[in-house]
Structure 1
Amino acid sequence: MVHALEVLPGGSAGPPASGFEVAYVAPDGTGLRRPLPEAWAVSFEHARPVRAFASYRRQRNLPGLWWSATTGGHVGYESWLERDQVMLLDFDPAVVGISSQPFWLFWSAANGRPVSHAPDYFARREDGTGVVVDCRPADRRGLRDVVKFEATAAACAEVGWEFRLLGAPDAVVVRNVRWLAGYRHPRHGVEPAASRLREVFAEPLPLMDGAAAAGEPLAVLPVLFHLLWSHELTVDVSVPLHSGSLVSPGAGR
């Protein structure tokens, strides 16, 4: 599930879909640079960040690390917007790998000037396809930024990756998923409560009614929220989560 999605075409402001190179850092720390067509099969979801996440006094943006249930490790972010978007990638059941600042993309502008850009995220989906993500509020996309985003979209089209330029996600979705994210760690999948909840919600039931039927609500609610995070059970996160929210069986990851 991905929200606040905008997919850019190749666009007229960017370069033609050719002549791109990528530089990246392999998991063992080796730096590599090669033409984009030769790198399309690289597991960028395992690449190290090509840029450091700076932190200093009076910093306007807020960098940090998101512990990803998908990868079992930390994924960096440089703003609250990026934090929210990496959280939604982590919640997406189709995503099996995520990396931040996965590569530098290089190309030449029409005047011959060299240009570079490091996208914010690379995500690998379960079907093997790749997604390149840039995060930028709609009101903070200057002309130079738009040109880079369109060039990145053209590069992605060349190798069959999807490109997403994401702004602020839906506030209700973010609040709901952020709540469930508090229970994303596997330690919350406690048995036998998890099995009992799967049985209770084999047919759709209101959230608190099902929790009470499964046991002491204070004990089973953290397990229920974990099952909702992992999509073993499902609920509509586009509306505020409440005691009467209808919980149904999910497809799982």
Structure 2
Amino acid sequence: MTDKSARLRSDATVRFARNPAERPGRKSCTGWYQSIKAGDGLPYESLLERDALLLLDFDRDVAHFSVQPETFVWTEAGRQRRYTPDIRLEMADGKIIYRQVKLATRLAADPTLGGRLPAIEAECAARGGRHEMWLDTDIRRQPRLSNVRRLRAAVAVLAAENLPAIRTIITHLPFPLTLGATAAALGGQAVHTNVVLGLVAIGDLVADLDRPLDENAILMPGTGR
């Protein structure tokens, strides 16, 4: 192991109660997601968790989020029990939510999380928050998931040296405008559609992500991130 790899592992140990990216298995898909909102790489242990992190990056109701934030430990009937929430959310309205990413079929098979759910909810309440299950049926709802995938990819086309000029053009446009009209104002080439999507991704523009992001999508000015 290189010194750099050792430092990364040490940093991850400090930042996360558990690091699923270090525990790959035959039936799991672990890795790191580079979050725009968190400004950091975040570990995930399934593609469903990766999709969940992607959605949070573009959820305007979420001010900040962290993964594997802490492990709850309590004693029940003389036995030590443990639970590590997948995600801790700080909402724009100040509320705290601990969220568990789960397949609906698995929750149906074990709705009390092995009998731990009442204690888990009490632990969350003691921290000033509440506990939620976030199911695959919600996470993978379309077209939102496809939209945020496009937005995350479009960030790569934004060049820092070009942003001031682009923003100058944007500030003089008569919003609301369609995505197609906004791209045309920037030059009308295929790359300009991705530039507009990148501006949505970083919060300069706002779109309804529950509707298709086609050329007729309505855009409004945003406030940035």
TM bucket (normalised to shorter chain) is 0.7 to 0.9
Q: Is 1:88 the counterpart of 2:55 in the alignment? A: yes
Computed over aligned residues only, the root mean square deviation of the Cα atoms, in angstroms, reads: 2.6
* Percent identity for Structure 1 against Structure 2: 26
Q: Which moved more, 1:158-167 or 1:126-135?
A: 126-135
Change (3 A) 1:159 1:84: same
Which amino acid in 2 is paired with 1:124? Answer: E
Aligned to 1:55: 24
1:149–1:28 distance in 2 versus 1, CA, 3 Å? same
Deviation at residue 156 of structure 1 after TM alignment: 1.3
- Is 1:197 the equivalent of 2:165? no
Deviations along 1:133-157, one digit per CA (max 9) or x if unpaired, are 2100221021451633443222111
* Paired position in structure 2 for 1:114: 80
Per-residue CA shift, 1:151-196, capped at 9, x if unaligned?
3222111221232210022221111111111124594453212331
Contact 1:211/1:221 (<8 A) preserved: yes
SS for the counterpart of 1:166 is strand
CA distance in 2, matches of 1:51, 1:90: 20
Unaligned 5+ segments in structure 1 are 1-25, 31-46
Counting helix residues as a fraction of each chain, which structure ranks higher?
A: 2
1:238 CA displacement: 0.7
Cα distance, 1:242 vs. partner?
0.9
- Distance change (3 Å), C-alpha of 1:164 and 1:127: same
1:251 matches 2:220: no
Q: 2:43 aligns with which of 39, 57, 76?
A: 76
Letter of the 1:252 partner, please give it.
G
1:138 and 2:104 matched? yes
**1:66 matched to which residue of 2?**
33
In structure 2, C-alpha distance between the alignment counterparts of 1:158 and 1:152, rounded to whole Å: 10
Q: State the one-letter code of the partner of 1:113.
A: R
Q: 2:190 aligns with which of 218, 226, 246?
A: 218
1:73-100: CA deviations, max 9, x gaps?
2101111111111111122235444332
> How many pairs does the alignment contain?
208
Give the corresponding residue for 1:179.
Answer: 150
Q: TM-score, normalised by structure 1?
A: 0.72
Q: Distance in 1 between matches of 2:36 and 2:216?
A: 27
Q: Secondary structure at the match of 1:116?
A: strand
Partner of 1:17: none
- Name the SS for the 1:154 alignment partner: helix
Q: Which has the higher contact order (CA 8 A, sep 6+)?
A: 1
Deviation at 1:71, TM superposition (A): 2.4
Q: Specify the alignment match of 1:229 in structure 2.
A: 201
Are the structure 2 counterparts of residues 188 and 181 from structure 1 closer, same or farther at C-alpha, using a change threshold of 3 Å? farther
**TM-score of the superposed pair, with normalisation by structure 2:** 0.80
Does 1:105 pair with 2:63?
no
